Amino acid sequence: MAVMAESAVAQVKRSSMWTRAFESRNFLGAMFMVPAIAILILFLAYPLALGLWLGMTDTKIGGVGRYIGFGNFVSLAKDSVFWLSVFNTIFYTFAASIVKFAIGLYLALLLNERLPFKSMVRAIVLLPFVVPTVLSAIAFWWIYDSQFSIISWVLLKAGLITHYIDFLGDPWNARWSVVAANIWRGVPFVAITLLAGLQTISPSLYEAANLDGATNLQRFRHITLPMLSPIIAVVMTFSVLMTFTDFQLIYTITRGGPINATHLMATLSFQRAITGGNLGEGAAISNAMIPFLVAAILLSFFGLQRSRWQQGGRD
């Protein structure tokens, strides 16, 4: 009897401890965060840390590496192909992002107007984004083919050129060609997201502007653009990140050729790490992308800060 009573007391004590714990906001909060933290650590922090570590070693595929500090970076600094890939990546990102933004914004403004078959047109605009990247890349590979290019064929038949255009065989032609493919693929994302942003702008602002006699350009300059800027910041950050780290398009269309003229840091990293077997150096090339990516994220961070200011808060 005494034993039973004792255990009952203990039970009450334990359960009250649990109850109290679950009633505590701090404890509960921490518990709810555990799954998210676990996922972040397992799938983001750990791979990132492993990548950073690998970049500091001379690991070969199938072997154990030694720590060599910044050895990979010192060696890469002397590698002309690496520097070419850095240039290509920056060029690719800037050229593609600027055009994607311009066309995307233009499309979004158009789609925001009253159009016949509005929802159908919007769905069609999204198409390039829906097609798997590799498939569209293969299509572009055919479009740019040195012997079978449809563009060259049409221009030739129209009598505008005398021989097939060497789209992917000339360094600058190849760079512009892959940029064009990336733009085609990236525009829908920009357009649809900006369109969503446009639709959040209150019509009363435009009505007020109309009453004040504002021109179209003034309305765009003083209402649309400022109201849209937080969305623009987010969209362009994503667009820049995705373009900067692009792999599939390049790998399918040119494999980095001709003479490495379209090698991006991502494709070079793959070529060195997987095809070449030098995992450490490949990781180092990937790591070299991080400063650029962080810069892009910081840019968006400050863009978002501005949005708070726009909503009446302070900068």
Identity of the residue, 76 or 236, whose beta carbon is nearer to another protein in the bound complex: 76
Rounded Cα–Cα distance for residues 305 and 302 (Å)? 5
Shortest separation between residue 41's beta carbon and another protein, angstroms: 22
Q: Which residues bind another protein (CB under 8 A)?
A: 58, 60-63, 75, 78-81, 144-148, 163-164, 166-171, 174, 254-260, 271-272, 274-278
Can you tell me whether residue 268 is helix, strand or coil?
Answer: helix
Q: Per 3-state DSSP, what percentage of the chain is helix, strand, and coil (rounded to 5)? A: 75, 0, 25
Shortest separation between residue 26's beta carbon and another protein, angstroms: 41
Shortest separation between residue 56's beta carbon and another protein, angstroms: 15
Cα separation of the two ends of the chain:
70
Identity of the residue, 63 or 226, whose beta carbon is nearer to another protein in the bound complex: 63
Shortest separation between residue 99's beta carbon and another protein, angstroms: 23
Identity of the residue, 165 or 201, whose beta carbon is nearer to another protein in the bound complex: 165
Q: In this structure, what is the dihedral angle of CA atoms 99, 102, 104, 109, given to the nearest 10 degrees?
A: -170
Closest CA to 136 of 148, 127, 123, 145: 127
Shortest separation between residue 163's beta carbon and another protein, angstroms: 7
Interaxial angle between packed helices 80-112 and 225-244, expressed in degrees from 0 to 180 and rounded to the nearest 10? 140
Q: Which residues, in sequence order, are bridge partners of residue 57?
A: 67
CB atoms within 10 A of CB 47: 10
Rounded Cα–Cα distance for residues 137 and 182 (Å)? 9
Identity of the residue, 185 or 272, whose beta carbon is nearer to another protein in the bound complex: 272
Residues 263 and 81 sit within 8 Å (Cβ to Cβ): yes
Shortest separation between residue 277's beta carbon and another protein, angstroms: 6
Identity of the residue, 255 or 306, whose beta carbon is nearer to another protein in the bound complex: 255
Rounded Cα–Cα distance for residues 269 and 254 (Å)? 15
Rounded Cα–Cα distance for residues 86 and 80 (Å)? 10
Identity of the residue, 128 or 257, whose beta carbon is nearer to another protein in the bound complex: 257
Shortest separation between residue 125's beta carbon and another protein, angstroms: 30
Identity of the residue, 237 or 262, whose beta carbon is nearer to another protein in the bound complex: 262
